[in-house]
Amino acid sequence: MATGSEEAKLELFLQWLKVNGAELRGCKIKYCDSSKGFGIFSSNDVPDGVLLVVPLDLAITPMRVLEDPLIGSECRSMFEEGEVDDRFLIMLFLTVEHLRKNSSWKAYLDMLPTEFGNPLWFTDDELLELKGTTLHRATELQKKNLKSLFDEKVKKLADKLLALDGNPEREVRFEDFLWANSIFWTRALNIPLPSSYVFPRIEQEQGINIPNASTSHVSTQTLVNTENGKSLEINNSGDHVSGVEPTSREGETVWVEGLVPGIDFCNHDLKPATTWEVDGTGSTTGIPFSMYLLSSGTVQNEKEISISYGNKGNEELLYLYGFVIKDNPDDYLMVHYPVEAISDVPFSEAKLQLLEARRGELRCLLRRSLLKNGFFPESTFLGGTSDKDTAGRDFHYSWSGDRKMPSYVNKLIFPEEFLTALRTIAMKENELYQVSSLLEELVGPGKDRQPSDAEVRTAIWEACGDSGALQMLVDLLHMKMMELEEGSGTEESDAELLKKAHKEIPDNQKRCSTKNSSVDCTLMSRRRWDIIVYRHGQKQLTRLFIREAEHALHLALSEGTI
C-alpha cells in the first residue's frame, strides 16, 4: 500500500503530466509494492485502445539535454568536443537534475526508485552469492569501470554544470551517478522517431513547415516541489512509428534512446496485452510526435498493464532490471573458450590466423529453446522464442568421400560457428595441412578468389570431423559447472533452498505468514531469491547441455566421424 509520501509524489506527477500535455485516457498510475514501485493499471475501456499518450517533448533524450536552457550550451560543447556520447549525456543530465532543488523535472524524478535489484547495488555478501557465474565477473568489471568514469570525468563535469545553477546543497557522489546509470538502463526505450522531429532545422531549411518540437521546454508552472526528494540489448520488437509512411529515403526514421515519463512505469510481462508505439503525425492519438500505449484487446478493469522488455534470459534481466523469472523460457547459458588459452595449444599461431581470418566465434549463447530440438527434448523447455542459432549445417558430405553424414546431424543443437572454432583449436598437425590443401585445391592455382566462410567450415569438418570439437565442448561445460558449484553448491542444493524459502518483498521486512509453527519457514530477501533462481537456472542448463554434448560425442566416436 502506498504511503502518504508516495501518494503526494504521485499527485504532483499526475499534475505535471497533465500540464505538459500527457493524457491518461484508459489507465491510471498506482503504487504496486516496494519491489515494483509504481505501475500502470487499466481504469476504463477505450474504443480505440489508446490508454496513455505522452508528447515526445516530455522525453529525456540526447536532443533534449542539448537544448536544456541551463546546461544545454555546456553539454553541446562537451558533445562537439567528443567528451560525451548519447548515453553518457542522458546519465549526466539525470545526475545533475536529481541534485537540483528547483529542477523542472522534479515531479518525475521524485517518482523514480532510489533502490535497485541489479547486482551493481548488491552488498559484498550478496555479490558473493553470484560467484562462479558470468554475472559475477561482469558486475565487478562494470562497477570498477563506472567508478573510474566517475572519478575521471563525471564528477568534474557534474560539478561544473551544477555551479551554473548556483551553489549546490552538496557535492556530487558516486552513488548519484550509479543511480543515474541504473535509471537509464532500467527505463530507457529505443524510440523510432521521424527525422523531421529529430532534425527540425534541416527540414525547415528545405522548406518543410514542421514545428520545432524537439526544442520546446518542459512546463513547470506551480508544480515544483520545494521539499527535498529522494534520489550489452532494450525491447525493439514489434515497435514501429505510427503515421510515418515507409520510404526508401535514408534517415526517414531515426532511432533514439530516451526516457519517456509515464510510459516507463509499465512493468514487464512475458505475454503482455499492451505495446507502445510512436505517432508521428497525430493520426492515431490526435497529438503529433507522441508515444502511446495501445491495448491489443479488452483489458480487465483495475488490471495492471504490462509491456514486454524483450525475450531476455534471467542473466540479462537481473543485470539490467534487477529481477528474474522462474522457469524463464528465454533463459540461456554463455559458454566461451578463453582466447588466451590458445597460445598453449600446438600450432597456435596458424590456428589463430585461421580464426581471425574467418572471425571464429569463441563464445556462444546456448539458449534453452535449443534443447527442444536435441536428443533429450523435455516438455518444460518447449516454451521460449524460436531460435535461429541451431546447427543448420549446409556442408557437402563429402569432398573426399571419406566422411559420411552423421546420423545425429539433425539433433546436434550447438551453433555451427562455435563448433567450427573448437574444431580449429583442436586440430592436429595432419588435419591442419589437410584443410590448407583442400582450400588450395578449391580456389585453384591462380588463387583468384578467397574461399567463402561456408567453404572453410566444410573443409575444417572434412579434415577434423566432430569428436575433437565435441570433446572440447564437454570439457568447457564441465569446467563451467565446476565454477558454478564451487561458488554456491550444487543444483540440488539451490533447488532445496528455493523449495523451503518464502520469497519476501521487500528485503527482510516481512515475517512468515504461516500460523503453523511446525512448518520450516525460511525468510529470504527478494534479492537472494533472485540470485538463487538465476544461478539454479545456470546449473540446470549446464547439466542439460552437458548431457547433449556427451551423447553427441558418444555417437561421433561410435560412428567413426573422428
Phi, psi values for residue 544, rounded to 5°: -70, -35
Cell reading at 123? 552488498
Q: What is the pLDDT of residues 489-531, one digit of tens each?
A: 999 999 999 988 754 444 444 333 333 333 344 578 889 999 9
So what's the pLDDT on residue 373? 94
Predicted pLDDT of residue 523: 73
Give yes or no for residue 221 having a pLDDT over 90.
no
The Cα–Cα gap between 279 and 194 comes to 9
Element holding 206 (H helix, E strand): none
Which pLDDT band, with edges at 50, 70 and 90, does 225 fall under?
Answer: very low
Sign of CA dihedral 194, 198, 200, 205: negative
Assess contact for 540 and 378: CB atoms under 8 A. no
Residue 215 — pLDDT band, cuts 50, 70, 90?
very low
Q: How many other C-beta atoms can be found within 10 angstroms of the C-beta atom of residue 325? A: 20
Distance CA 98, CA 181 (A): 12
Work out the average pLDDT over 183-196.
90
What DSSP element (H or E) covers 264?
none
pLDDT at position 305: 84
Q: Measuring CA to CA, which residue among 411, 418, 393, 424 is closest to residue 335? A: 418
Sign of CA dihedral 37, 43, 49, 50: negative
pLDDT of res. 425: 92
- Within 66-206, strands assigned E span 189-194
The pLDDT tens digits for 413-426 are 999 999 999 999 99
* SS3 of residue 58 by DSSP: helix
Residue-wise over 149-175: b if at least 16 C-beta within 10 A, else e?
bbeebbbebbeebbeebeebeeebeee
- Residues 383-407, mean pLDDT to the nearest whole number: 58
Residue pLDDT, tens place only, 264-297: 998 888 788 789 999 999 999 999 999 999 987 7
CA-wise closest residue to 200 among 76, 289, 88: 289
Residue-by-residue DSSP string for 148-173: HHIIIIIHHHHHHHHHTTSS-SS---
Query: Are residues 27 and 40 in contact, defined by beta-carbon separation less than 8 angstroms?
Result: yes
Question: 494 or 401, which is more confident?
Answer: 494
Q: What is the mean pLDDT of the chain?
A: 81
Residue 483, pLDDT score: 95
Q: How far apart are CA 305 and CA 274, in angstroms?
A: 7
Q: How many CA atoms lie within 13 A of 379 on its CB side?
A: 0
Cα(94)–Cα(204) distance, integer angstroms = 31
Please tell me the total number of residues recorded for the chain in this structure: 562
pLDDT of residue 258: 95
Pairing of the two strands 27-33 and 290-295: unpaired
Contact between 363 and 163 under an 8 Å Cβ cutoff? The reply is: no
CB 277 within 8 A of CB 243: no
In 3D, which of 535, 409, 553 has the Cα closest to residue 131? 535
Here the cell at position 278 is 510512436
pLDDT for 45: 78
pTM of the model: 0.81
**Coil, helix or strand at residue 400:** coil
Residue 465 phi/psi, 5-degree rounding, is: 70, -155
Helix H or strand E encompassing 518:
none
What is the amino acid identity at position 494? Answer: D
More confident residue, 175 or 439: 175
The CA-atom distances, in angstroms, between 478 and each of 256, 442, 482, 562 are 42, 38, 6, 21
Taking a C-beta distance cutoff of 8 angstroms, is the pair 193, 57 a contact?
A: no
> Is 90 exceeded by the pLDDT of residue 78?
no
Q: What is the pLDDT of residue 350?
A: 86
Read off the pLDDT of residues 100-154 as tens digits, 9 standing for 90 and up: 888 899 999 999 999 899 999 999 999 999 999 999 999 999 999 999 999 999 9
Angle formed by the axes of helices 72-80 and 86-99, to 10°? 150
Residues 71, 164 contacting (CB under 8 angstroms): yes
